[in-house]
Chains A and B, each alone.
Chain A
Amino acid sequence: MRRSANFVAATLFMLCSAMVSATQAPAVPAPMPSAKTASTTDHRKLEALQGPFKTGPEVTKACLSCHNMAAHQVMKSIHWTWEAISPTTGKKLGKQHAANNFCGSITSNETRCTSCHSGYGWKDKNFDFSEQSNVDCLACHDTTGTYKKFGTDAGHPLYADREFEPMEGPPGKKLFKAPDLTGIAQQVGKPGRKNCGSCHFSGGGGDAVKHGDLDSSLVKPKKELDVHMAEDGANMACADCHTFNAHQPSGSRYAATSKDKHGFDLPKDDHNRATCESCHGFSPHQEAKINNHTGKVACQTCHIPEFARGGIATKMLWDWSTAGKMGPDGKPLFIKDEHGHLTYSAAKGDFKLGENVRPEYKWYNGVVHQVTITDKIDDSKVLELNRVEGSAKDPNARIWPFKVMHGKQPYDTENKTLVVNHVFGEDDTAFWKHYDYAKSIKAGMEYAGFPYSGKFGFIETRMNWFITHMVAPKDKAVPCQECHTRAEDGRLAAITDIYLPGRDRNRLVDLFGGLAIIGAIGAGGLHGLMRIITRRRKENAK
């Protein structure tokens, strides 16, 4: 009897522990091969690259003398066209057409904006998109870290040292050095984090401004900041996930993959690894209960607890309506906070910035309704420039994290469209020279060839920015109770069309259940009390 009970008890616990420790496939994919793979060509020894090169296009011609397909490939890419047809809505988008609530429009401001174009010389509408030597190879393939397209030269780097006073910088001219094009051309290689970052970290006109999850802290991130890109982590480059096929990047913001149904991407597949599932598969967690979340919750929602975590603040609000104020000295007013961040710029208006910001969460099914500059808009409410579609019932939708950018920007109050604001240029209408909206908007709309009533106002806008970089180490993922909580500031408080355990309950069941428990304890207590009293009475009677 004794033995059998011992045996049963032991078997029982062995069985239970076996059940719990049964695990699935490993959660972390095999390490990537080193980013520095040995090349079979030493570019320094190539005759075509001996130079000396005086301009960017000269370098490009030299590159193309061997890589004779490269320019044709680049010319098909969004990095060159700045134009894309949304695969889900069929709408013509891209930087040339989509509206945003940051700098506004490229049109009429080309010389400044195209400092991030993968080409040289897009200074106005007459740019020749078919000229191969206009392609900029070095922006992406420089490995020295010294190549830099100058901010106001339509995509060209400096060809001679220049003294220049940045608009919002400290007063006074600063010397900018021209890069050594010949040396750079001889050391080309695969794009690293810094190459992509030179534009994508500075979207919206400065470091960290636009995305919130992309800024220069990712050039050499700590593991805490980005487990994939950290040198002591996977040390991955952007293109390890955003794989390129014939110079076409994978991953797009106009139709980000809401739910990868393909899973692991093998060499036989489409060479598109821009989703977490491409490397981590569908069941990356050891615990089944956590894997159960992946159908409805994007990986990023738990694994990126906050954005702008690298110590560089991102813009959260941009109010154009207050731009144009002059200081007591009659000069354009620029105000900085204690961290040196601009909070007011005469050129751009009021800003609010944020670091370590908790994202907002929304259902997203792969469809983004992106507003373009010529779309009719409803000015009776806040305008959402890129509404993301989705709901709990939608099988393609998952809960995604977003940086929601708040904006207030000019629009045509009669025609009900957004406007092209001509901000940059040496002419007599540019806003950043003369601070006169009436002139700058008129000039921008005329240049673009869009109808304009001549009357403008300011409309409040919102823009959703997918948060998908700055993936934290797994032990820093969002703890369950930050969503599964009754607290009003729970992360998913805005997602109301699901039953969320820990947050939701049936009030009647809670009421009656609570009463039942109180009743049980009360009845026991009362019964016991009566037993004590009646026993005492009896003892006293004796």
Chain B
Amino acid sequence: MSERIYIYKRYERFWHWSQALLIIVMMITGFEVHDSFTLLGFQKAVQLHTLAAWTLLTLWAFTIFWQFTTGEWRQYLPSLKNVLAMVHYYTIGIFTNSPHPFRKTVVQKHNPLQRLAYLALLAFISPLIWISGLLYLFYGDWGRLGLDAWLSLEWVAVAHTLGAYMITAFFFIHVYLTTTGHTLTAHIKAMITGWEEVDEHQKT
């Protein structure tokens, strides 16, 4: 028996998928700027990368507003409780058909490991990328801002590249983990429709 709960609200789904698209665009164009491959040409890659970055920043402005007005920001508060259970599940339980130790609810849609991962993303990777990225973008204004004595383009660029590798690694793990629901596509379906099926018998 299973129960359907409405877990991802409409704005949240819009946010997730547009953010996903923008991040994929930035990964591709960013690594082209890094000359890892040639696809659009350097200039177009830079233009698209910059456009996507501004779009994502705007999206985040709305999303932060949404998080606080809906109280959803609490979903990202970390908790060490049950983290070990999650680790145990992903390393052993998942192979022995043990039940998922975490049960999604509307007020708790992230498992403890997810909360930690998203917090790390918000606290470390994203500031690294955004700060270095904005400095990179405004390189031409360093002199006016009095930053040129403190910064070198090389360090800013290398920091941005480091952040890019980290978010790309995160991206692949994130995509893989979407397949670990009770069916392969359960999590992805939930992110599309908003509805997730939750096993009834785990309720207690």
Interface residues of A (CB under 8 A from B): 1-2, 4-5, 8-9, 12-13, 15-16, 19-20, 287-289, 291-292, 295, 479-481, 484-486, 498-499, 501-506, 509-510, 512-514, 516-517, 519-521, 523-525, 527-528, 530-531, 534-535, 538
A531 close to B41 (CB less than 8 A): no
Closest 4 CB pairs of A and B: A513-B165, A292-B140, A524-B176, A499-B154
Contacts of A534 in B (CB 8 A): 95-97
CB distance from A491 to the nearest CB of B (A): 12
A519 close to B169 (CB less than 8 A): yes
User: Is B152 in the interface zone, CB < 8 Å from A?
Assistant: yes
Could you give, for residues 13-51 of chain B, a 1 whenever the CB lies within 8 Å of some chain A CB and a 0 otherwise?
A: 010001000000000000001110010011100110011
B51 close to A16 (CB less than 8 A): yes
| CB contacts between A and B, total, < 8 Å | 130
CA distance A370 to B31 in the complex (A): 44
Contacts of A531 in B (CB 8 A): 94-95, 180
User: Is B164 in the interface zone, CB < 8 Å from A?
Assistant: yes
Cβ-neighbour of B11 out of A4, A520, A530 (below 8 A)? A4
A530 close to B95 (CB less than 8 A): yes
A505 close to B161 (CB less than 8 A): yes
Interface residues of B (CB under 8 A from A): 9-11, 14, 18, 33-35, 38, 41-43, 46-47, 50-51, 54-55, 58-59, 62, 90, 94-97, 137, 139-140, 152-154, 157-158, 161-162, 164-166, 168-173, 175-177, 179-180
Closest to B12 in A: A5
B46 close to A289 (CB less than 8 A): yes
Knowing A4-B11, A288-B140, A528-B176 touch, does A502 contact B42 (C-beta < 8 A)?
yes
Cβ-neighbour of B165 out of A2, A480, A512 (below 8 A)? A512
Cβ-neighbour of B54 out of A19, A505, A510, A521 (below 8 A)? A19
Cβ-neighbour of B164 out of A499, A503, A513, A530 (below 8 A)? A513
Cβ-neighbour of B169 out of A5, A484, A517 (below 8 A)? A517
B62 close to A8 (CB less than 8 A): yes
Cβ-neighbour of A481 out of B10, B18, B38, B177 (below 8 A)? B38
A504 close to B154 (CB less than 8 A): yes
Contacts of A16 in B (CB 8 A): 51, 54-55, 58
What are 14 A-to-B residue pairs whose CB atoms are below 8 Å? A2-B10, A12-B58, A288-B140, A480-B46, A481-B42, A499-B154, A502-B42, A506-B154, A513-B161, A517-B169, A520-B168, A527-B94, A531-B95, A538-B97
CA distance A520 to B173 in the complex (A): 6
Contacts of B18 in A (CB 8 A): 9
Contacts of B139 in A (CB 8 A): 292
CB distance from B174 to the nearest CB of A (A): 9
CB distance from B177 to the nearest CB of A (A): 8
Contacts of A484 in B (CB 8 A): 33, 35, 42
CA distance A535 to B94 in the complex (A): 9
Contacts of B157 in A (CB 8 A): 499, 501, 504
Knowing A292-B140, A484-B42, A534-B95 touch, does A1 contact B9 (C-beta < 8 A)?
yes
CB distance from B200 to the nearest CB of A (A): 22
Closest to B172 in A: A520
Contacts of B153 in A (CB 8 A): 498-499, 501
CA distance A19 to B139 in the complex (A): 18
B140 close to A8 (CB less than 8 A): no
CA distance A479 to B42 in the complex (A): 8
Contacts of B54 in A (CB 8 A): 16, 19-20
CA distance A481 to B11 in the complex (A): 39
CA distance A448 to B54 in the complex (A): 68
CA distance A502 to B160 in the complex (A): 13
CB distance from B125 to the nearest CB of A (A): 12
CB distance from B148 to the nearest CB of A (A): 10
CB distance from A23 to the nearest CB of B (A): 13
Contacts of A499 in B (CB 8 A): 152-154, 157
CB distance from B150 to the nearest CB of A (A): 15
CA distance A12 to B60 in the complex (A): 10
